[in-house]
Amino acid sequence: MNSNKENGIGVKGRRVIAYTVLIILTFLCLIWFYILVINATRTNSMLKRGFTPLPSTHLIENMINLLFHSTQPVLKGLRNSLIVSALTAVLTTYFSTMTAYAIHTYEFKGRKAFFTFILMVMMIPTQVTALGFIQFMTKLKLINSFAPLVIPAIASPVTFFYLKQYMDSTLSLSLIEAARIDGAGEFRIFNTIALPLMKPAISVQAIFAFVSSWNNYFTPALILQKDEMKTLPILIAELRSADFLKFDMGIVYAMILFSILPVVVVYLILSKNIVAGVQLGGVKE
């Protein structure tokens, strides 16, 4: 009985430690968001006096100044970011799932070589290919277009690798063979059998792809030069680099808060699939 009590105390102790660590990590993750919200409710003069943990009453004022009195086309930037991020998330997950399905399902020469090559592409930083990419887009006359931001993002080795690992654990080849015996075509099998089974993993990767595209500053800053085509990260950077006399930190914080709200909405919509996607994605039969 003493050993059982000791084991029980040990389990309770480990549980207390685990919850304590989780609470600390949660606090560290949320404190910066809380500071952002607090600062978005204050004016520029109040922010210059230092930080206070209590919110003020100027959030609506800052939002009105941001949307209707700012020199930056914020609403157009929101529209541009939504278009680019939504298209990137949808196309990246769909075609990465299709690629993973082909590698997982079909037996052909060079399959392992293709898989290895795709993983090798993961090691190449975007900055290394930036100059050649800009020259190529200039020759194609795609500067100030969303196409260079969406189409290259479809080929995502990281998304492919995660979906391939998930598919190895959830998509049985016998199920695919049964569908073929029943006379179903390959596209029908993929769209009606593979995609629904991959829904948790696709939701997780859709969130990652959306957030990554939404926060992307480097490539859009190189491609988008017209004000009406710029995305929110570019507008935030330009707002922060404004003339000192026109610089308003309250509006900057309000714009940052405004820019992350769509990401929060997307996360809340798809979050129910995150736990299932992460758990099954790392398990292989």
Distance, CA of 77 to CA of 71 (rounded, Å):
12
For residue 255 the two structure tokens come to: 């714009």
Give which of 85, 31, 30 is closest to 217, Cα–Cα. Answer: 85
Q: pTM for this one?
A: 0.80
Q: What is the pLDDT along the chain (285 residues), one digit of tens a residue?
A: 455 554 555 778 888 888 999 999 999 988 988 998 999 999 888 888 888 888 888 888 888 888 887 777 888 988 999 999 999 999 999 999 999 998 888 888 888 888 888 888 888 877 788 888 888 888 988 899 999 999 988 888 889 988 888 888 888 888 888 888 888 888 888 888 888 888 888 888 888 899 889 988 888 988 988 888 999 888 888 876 665 556 778 888 888 888 888 888 888 877 776 655 555 544 444
Length of the chain: 285
Half-sphere exposure of 196 toward its Cβ, with a 13 Å CA cutoff? 5
For residue 201, what are the CA distances in angstroms to 160, 163, 276?
Answer: 11, 6, 8
Cα separation of 238 and 241, whole Å?
5
Phi-psi region at 141: left, alpha or beta (left = phi > 0; alpha = psi -120 to 50): left
Neighbouring residues of 24: CB distance < 8 A, sequence distance ≥ 6? none
Contact 276, 68 (CB under 8 A): no
According to the model, what pLDDT value does residue 284 have? 44
Residue 92: its pLDDT value, please?
93
Q: How many CA atoms lie within 13 A of 90 on its CB side?
A: 6
Domain spanning 64-281, CATH class: mainly alpha
Task: Write down the residue that tokens 């979050």 correspond to.
Answer: 271
* Of 250, 277, 208, 236, nearest in space to 36 by CA: 250
Q: Are 215 and 231 in contact (CB under 8 A)?
A: no
Give the residue extent of every domain in the chain. Answer: 2-63, 64-281
Measure the CA–CA gap between 74 and 70, rounded to whole angstroms. Answer: 8
Within the chain, what is the greatest distance between any pair of CA atoms? 79
Give φ, ψ of 140 to 5 degrees. -80, -5
